[in-house]
Structure 1
Amino acid sequence: MNKEFKIEGMSCNHCVMAVQKNLAKMNLREFKVEIGSAKVEFDENKINEELITKAIEDAGFIVIK
């Protein structure tokens, strides 16, 4: 499954790196983080959107739903 998460509160490359660090710990097929968004490809049988949202929020940002 492919999903784009809109993220509030990101303003610099340090923010991007914080989200990347958390997503890298997960069992994702692929991801790309930019200021304001994260595009994620994942196997919905192994991981769900709520876990990805939590990883982004644990980096200190807000996922816009």
Structure 2
Amino acid sequence: MIEKIKVEGMSCQHCVMAVKKELNKLKANDYKVEIGLVEIDSVKNNLTKEQIKKAIEKAGYKVIE
């Protein structure tokens, strides 16, 4: 299932890399990160939406519900 998660506070490629770094720590390998948006296949990556949100927040950004 593809999760499309809106993210607040991302403004540059450094922000994109910070989120990618946290997703990589979860062993995610099938995702797309753009400024303000994360698209990730939660099933393929064996992750819950909550785990994904926590990784984004750990990178320093806010998930928009």
Q: Which amino acid aligns with 1:47?
A: L
Unaligned runs of 5+ in 2: none
TM-score by length of structure 1 reads: 0.89
Identity of aligned residues (%): 48
Change (3 A) 1:29 1:40: same
Structure 1 residue 42 displacement after superposition: 2.0
Q: Which runs of 5+ in 1 are unaligned?
A: none
Aligned pairs (5 A) from 1:52-63: 52-63=52-63
Which residue identity is paired with 2:39? Answer: K
How many residues are matched?
Answer: 64
Deviant stretches of 4+, over 6 Å = none
